[in-house]
Amino acid sequence: MPQFAWTQAPETHLHVTKVVQDCNWLQGLEGGIDTSHAPIMHRLLSETSTRGGFKPSNPFVRGKAPRLVVDITDYGYQYAGIRPLGEAEMHIRTYHFVMPFHQIRPSRSESGVKLIAGHAWVPIDDETTMVYNWAYSPTEALTETDRLERGLGNGPVHVDPATFRSRANRANNYLLDRTVQRNESYTGIDGINVQDRAIQESMGRVVDRSKEHLGPADKAIIQARKLLRQAVKTVEAGGSPDGTGPSYYTLHAHEEVLPNGTDWRQITPEMREGMILQTV
């Protein structure tokens, strides 16, 4: 069985939930590996808001448009969003895409504990997906408040624990509140991952991607599609696709503000020498 770092964490430090998403699994995955949308769609408008999202003072929000760097590996890739912060600093946020449907990202719990977190978008059929949401702390036990996942919208307050269906859904317009949208959050929808589901589901269960015009901000998505197509060809030819070896077992994701000119890869020590096959 795969041995992701989160599967080795003690239960006191680990939390896992799941929720049904009414669209093709790749739509969810591509949203999860797109770093550009997060500080826009998930931003809060007020420092005093207690809703889930990124406050205006967060460097993730204050940074300018990111430069994306994708490091191709034998499990998929690491990618980083590098955002200028004024003249002296830059904000770095790294992620991992582990073939074929896992994302690893940095996060924080409801109580402020630094976490490693991520999702797995597992197809149920062509038009329905089960999304597994996991998070763990390498150092601290999680609280009962953390396990409610109010900020993300994946816990029992937001998801029916019997059906694993989101209480905010397309039928009720994802409980969008226009007053909240005017005063507190960009979307007016409670829960970061509820916002993701609203965008990914409302574009249709299976989107015609041939009508797209992808740009520099979509670099991670472009590379994921290339790797997935290559994996299909590899399996058809009788080979083993990327992501079936043990190289991703120790991976973490990182977020940090660094002085301009710093080698940002210094914050990713688990990316061992020789693991990066190509940088795009």
Give the domain extent around 161.
Answer: 5-239+248-260
Residue 271 lies in a domain: no
pLDDT for 88 beyond 90 = yes
For the chain, what is the mean pLDDT?
Answer: 95
CATH of the domain at 253: 3.90.380.10
What's the pTM? 0.94
138-179 pLDDT, tens digit each? 999 999 999 999 999 999 999 999 999 999 999 999 999 999
181-213 pLDDT, tens digit each? 999 999 999 999 999 999 999 999 999 999 899
Residue 194 lies in a domain: yes
Residue 273 lies in a domain: no
- For the chain, report the end-to-end CA distance as a whole number of angstroms: 31
Residue 18 lies in a domain: yes
Length of the chain in residues, anyone? 280
Residue 270 lies in a domain: no
Phi, psi for residue 183 in degrees, rounded to 5: -115, -20
Do 176 and 188 touch, CB atoms closer than 8 A?
yes
Residue 78 lies in a domain: yes
pLDDT at 72 (0 to 100): 97
The per-residue b/e assignment along 45-72, b for 16 or more CB within 10 angstroms, e otherwise, is beeeeebbbbbeeebbbbbeebebbbbb
DSSP for 87-131, written as a single string:
TTEEEEEEEEEETTTEEEEEEE-TT--EEEEEEEEEEEETTEEEE
Do 72 and 278 touch, CB atoms closer than 8 A?
yes
106-142 pLDDT, tens digit each? 999 988 899 999 999 999 999 999 999 999 999 999 9
223-240 pLDDT, tens digit each? 999 999 999 999 999 999
Residue 272 lies in a domain: no
pLDDT for 30 beyond 90 = yes
Phi, psi for residue 62 in degrees, rounded to 5: -70, -25
| Higher pLDDT among residues 239 and 272, named by residue | 239
Residue 52 lies in a domain: yes
Phi, psi for residue 132 in degrees, rounded to 5: -95, 125
Indicate the number of domains in the chain: 1
**79 CB-side CA count, 13 A:** 25
